[in-house]
Amino acid sequence: MKRGDTYAVRYSIPKRFQAVVGRKEIVRSLGTTCLSEAIALRNGAIGEIEQELAARLELGDTSEARPSPKAEQTTIRATTHRWLSYADGINAKTRQRYQQHLEAFEAFAGNIEVAQIDRGLALRFMDHLKSTPSKRTGERLSLRALQSYQSCLASYWRVLDHWGLVDPDMRNPFSSLLRRVAGQRKVVDPRAKNLRPVTREEAESLLVYIAGNHRLKYQFEMFVTVRLLWVTGCRLNEIAGRSLEDIEDRGDHIVIRIPEAKTEAGKRLVMIVGEDDCRLVRNAIAKAGMSEPSCPDSRGLLFPRLELGGYDKRPSHYLGKALEKARKSLKDIDHSEWDMHSFRRSAVSALVNAGVATHARNLAVGHSNKEDIGVSVYAKRGDLEGVIKSTFEALYDEIGGSLTHTLSL
């Protein structure tokens, strides 16, 4: 970490020893303003701190301070508390509403193990909500209130599934609880959906804002991400979650492998063909080798400084929030018509305008080619890198090349 212009090392004391030591961490200056020198001195400073702690604590006599291991609780109440304590991406009002919904479900079902939740219980709870008047108004719950319950509980189940606490082959029991019956009119969402592709002017304005705001915690990561979103059409999490092993420098272009995705088509190759963008990625790789990871799980990532957030601990969690805040801070630009996913809309639109074949476009952006048996079946394991590279070259030409603003490193 930096304290003024001087680097320091911060050592977190294990929880079982904090009561004995009387503090949570030790911060010690490394006496240098050079990052590479600080990295070289870091391990020695940590070793000294650990030796001092060992002598002070007399580790052989601190077994009392070590808490006894407890089995992880998997009841509705325990998992609800765990989820909401991790869910730092929702505002206070939503958190309170979710808490009320989950408490109502617990009161109905009892504090049972989450593995006992099934479709029958979910349907009985929804029938209970429909027949029980509201304590506040004395009337039956509105459709909007019922939809809020369903949305909350469906999200809760997805979290349980991510944690491996429920049967992974079991369908979400809280999905489609409010399915329409024959003759019932479909509810129209009143919110306007007018999001469009981002323009080059808007993307450049976002870069200018990021480059000029040195107080941003993730300024470099935000800058690189915006530049790469513009020329790849990737999703934000596909850029933020990349490891150094996923990136291959081939000289005139850089290949980025995306090995995990919700669909098979999403697992693909992305190519950086612009000279300036390749140089930027190389700088990011070099910086990753010198940066202190935010946690052990961040080691080896392209952006190791990013804190992992959300119940599934994603690198894109806090980066996405920072980019959204920056986007909404732009002046003289209507940010209500586009978001960070609009970079993907821009790329697909550019490929369509460039006349790129549908199968090639889908290979580049990770969409399915299920209607084309030649690509989806016969050529599925073939070498299609030539098609992919020419597709990204066409995209690069159509969008007018790289974004021009630079960031002083």
Residues 50-99 have pLDDT tens digits of 888 877 776 544 444 444 434 458 999 999 988 888 776 677 888 889 99
What amino acid occupies position 4? G
CB count within 10 Å of CB 341 equals: 12
Cα separation, 86 vs 80, in Å, equals 10
CA angle in degrees (0–180, nearest 5) for 145-98-94: 85
Q: Would you say 274 and 258 are in contact if contact means Cβ atoms under 8 Å apart?
A: no
pLDDT: is 6 or 223 the higher one? 223
CA distance readout (Å), 329 to 185, 202, 209, 336: 40, 12, 8, 12
CB count within 10 Å of CB 256 equals: 20
Question: Which pLDDT score, from 0 to 100, does residue 187 have?
Answer: 61
Q: Return the minimum-mean-pLDDT range out of 309-313, 323-327, 339-343.
A: 309-313
Cα separation, 397 vs 351, in Å, equals 10
DSSP state of 337: G
Asked whether residue 252 carries a pLDDT value surpassing 90, the answer given is: yes
Q: Is 61 helix (H, G, I), strand (E, B) or coil?
A: helix
Main-chain phi, psi angles of 140, to 5 degrees = -65, 150
Which helix (H) or strand (E) element contains residue 249? strand 247-249
CB count within 10 Å of CB 363 equals: 22
Cα separation, 55 vs 404, in Å, equals 56
pTM of the predicted model as reported, rounded to 2 decimal places: 0.70
pLDDT: is 10 or 373 the higher one? 10
